[in-house]
Amino acid sequence: MTFNSLALKIASRCNLNCSYCFMYNLGDTTYKKQPKFMSAEIVNHVIEKTKNYIKKYNKKEFSFIFHGGEPLLASKQFYIDFVTKVNELKKELPNVSFFFDVQTNGVLLDKKWIALFKSLEIAPSISVDGTKKAHDMFRVDHKGNGSYDKVFKSAQLLKEEMDYADIACVINTNESPEEIYTSFKKMNASYVNFLIPDYTHDNFPFDKNKTTMADWLIALFDIWIRDANRFKIPLFLGLLNSLMRITEDAKNESTVLVIETNGEIEAIDSLKACGHGFTKTGLNITSNNLEDIQNTSLGNLYFNDLNSKLCNQCLQCPLNEICKGGRLVHRHRKSNGFNNPSVYCNDLIKLIAHIQNFFISCYPELHEKENIEAINPKEIMEYLSNISKEIESPFKKELESFLQEETVLV
Ligand code: SF4
Ligand code: SF4
C-alpha cells in the first residue's frame, strides 16, 4: 500500500465558507450527515488500525494530518489526547517515526495554539490565497467578510514563534503572479504549496483553447527561479526532481488516506468535486482495516493504479512519465468517468516544456551527454490531437465505471 499518512477530518464544519471549497460548495453535501467533531471512540479505532497497518506493511514512518472543515474548531484537549495515544503506540513500535501536521485556515491561530503545537510537535500549515484582494474574493466567512487580515497576522505569528511559515495557496489566475509572489515574500513564507483548482471536465471555467493556468504558472516559475532567496514551491520542485530523475514527485498525491469525522474511510478528498457521495466507500474505521480501501474500485484505482490506468491519449503521450495523466480529479467527466486526460492537459504540456527547456538552457552539456531534448509544446499538442479516436485504452471499461449520473449542488 502506498499511503503513509492519514488525513483526519477532526471537525466537519468550518468557520469559513470559501466559494471553491470541495467540502461544502462543489457538489457533495454528505458533510451534513457527519458529526461535528471526531469522537474519542473513533480516535481509538484510528490508533489501533494504524498500528496494525504499520506492522503489516512494515512502515518506518507515518504521518497524521489534522484536517477539517476547520481543525482548530476542535478542542486543544483533543490534540493533547491524540498525541498522548500515539506516544503510547511508540512503545510498541519504537522504530517507527511519527509526524503530525495540521492544515488550518488560520483564522483562529494565536499564540496559545502555536505554543500547544510546538509542545506536541505538530507542524501547522495555513491556507492563504496570495494577496488580500485574491484571498478575500473567495475565502470569506459565513457573512461574506474576507479573512485575509486575520490570516496574515497568523502567518506572521507562525514565523515569529516557530520560524517557519508553511502556506497552501489555491491558484487564482485573475491575480498577477508578481503580486502573489511579492505578498508571500512580505509574509516571510518558507514554503508555499500552490494548488491547481479542483475542476473537472464538467465545470472547467477556462477556455480549453488557451493555456491560462500554464501561462500563470510559467510567469510564477520565472520569478521564483531568479530569486536567490526564494521560498520552496513543491509543485516546481516536484517537476524539477522528476525531470532530473532525482526522485519521484515528492508530493505524490496517493500517499494520504482520508478518515471522515464519523470514521468513514475515503480514498481522496478532492474527488468530492466529482459529485454528491462520489468518495463514499462504505468502509468505516470501526469495522474495517485501513488497507481494505484497496478492495474498493476507487481505492484500488487511486492507491494501486493511479499512474498506469490512463486514457488512450495519456498512454500515448510522450510526457506521461512526468505528467502521469495529471491529478485524478482533473480527469473526471460525469459521462465517462476517468477515461480522459487531465482537463489541464495543454497547461501541463506547456509548463513541463518550459521547465525542461529552462533546465537545458542552464546545463547545455546535459543536452548532449544525457540525450535530454528540448520539448516543443505545440508539436506535442498536435501529435496528441492526431491520435486516432478509434483506438481505445485497455482500461476504458474500468475508467468509465466511475461515471456520475447526477451532481447535487448546494
Ligand atoms: S477553510 Fe477550507 S474547509 Fe473551510 S470553507 Fe475554506 S476551503 Fe473549505
Ligand atoms: S500531458 Fe496530457 S496527455 Fe500527456 S499525460 Fe498529461 S494529461 Fe495525459
Distance 25 CA to ligand 1 centre (A): 9
Task: For residue 284, report the distance from its CA to the centre of ligand 2, in Å.
Answer: 34
Task: Give the residue, out of 15, 26, 70, with the most ligand 1 atoms within 8 A of its beta carbon, to mutate for a pocket test.
Answer: 70
Residue type, 44: N
**Which residue has a Cα nearest atom 7 of ligand 1?**
21
Which residues have any ligand 2 atom within 6 Å of their CB? 313-314, 317, 319-320, 323, 325-326, 341-342, 345, 348-349, 384
> Which atom of ligand 1 approaches the CA of 68 most closely?
3
Q: 23 C-alpha vs ligand 1 centroid, how far in Å? A: 7
- Which numbered ligand comes closest to the C-alpha of 318? 2
Domains of the chain: 5-292 (3.20.20.70)
List the pLDDT tens digit at each of the 410 positions of the chain: 778 999 999 999 999 999 878 777 766 677 778 899 999 999 999 999 999 999 999 999 999 999 989 999 999 999 999 999 999 999 999 999 999 999 999 999 999 999 999 999 999 999 999 899 989 988 999 999 999 999 999 999 999 999 888 999 999 999 999 999 999 999 999 999 999 998 999 999 999 889 999 999 999 999 999 999 999 999 999 998 888 776 654 445 668 999 999 999 998 888 888 877 888 899 999 999 999 999 999 999 998 888 899 999 999 999 998 999 999 999 999 999 999 999 999 999 999 999 999 988 888 777 677 777 788 999 999 999 998 888 899 999 999 999 875 544 33
CA 337 to ligand 2 center in whole angstroms: 16
**Counting atoms of ligand 2 from 1, which one is nearest the CA of 344?**
7
| Closest ligand relative to 410 C-alpha | 1
**Please, which contacts does 390-395 make with residues 24 or more away whose CB atoms are closer than 8 Å?**
391/312, 392/312, 393/310, 393/311, 393/312, 393/315, 393/339, 395/305, 395/309, 395/310, 395/311, 395/339
* Separation of CA 324 and ligand 2 centre (Å): 7
Please work out whether the CB of residue 12 comes within 6 Å of at least one atom of ligand 1: no
- Distance from residue 71's CA to the centre of ligand 2 (Å): 35
CA–centroid distance, 399 to ligand 1, in Å, is: 29
Q: Which residues on adjacent β-strands are paired with residue 97?
A: 61
Q: Whose CA is nearest to atom 6 of ligand 2?
A: 325
Pocket test for ligand 2, best of 348, 376, 380 (most atoms within 8 A of CB): 348
Pocket test for ligand 2, best of 204, 314, 356, 391 (most atoms within 8 A of CB): 314
Q: How far is the CA of 375 from the centre of ligand 2 (A)?
A: 14
Q: What is the pLDDT of residue 252?
A: 56
State the distance from the centre of ligand 1 to the C-alpha of 14, rounded, in angstroms.
6
To the nearest 10°, the Cα dihedral for 40, 46, 52, 53?
-170
pTM of the model: 0.90
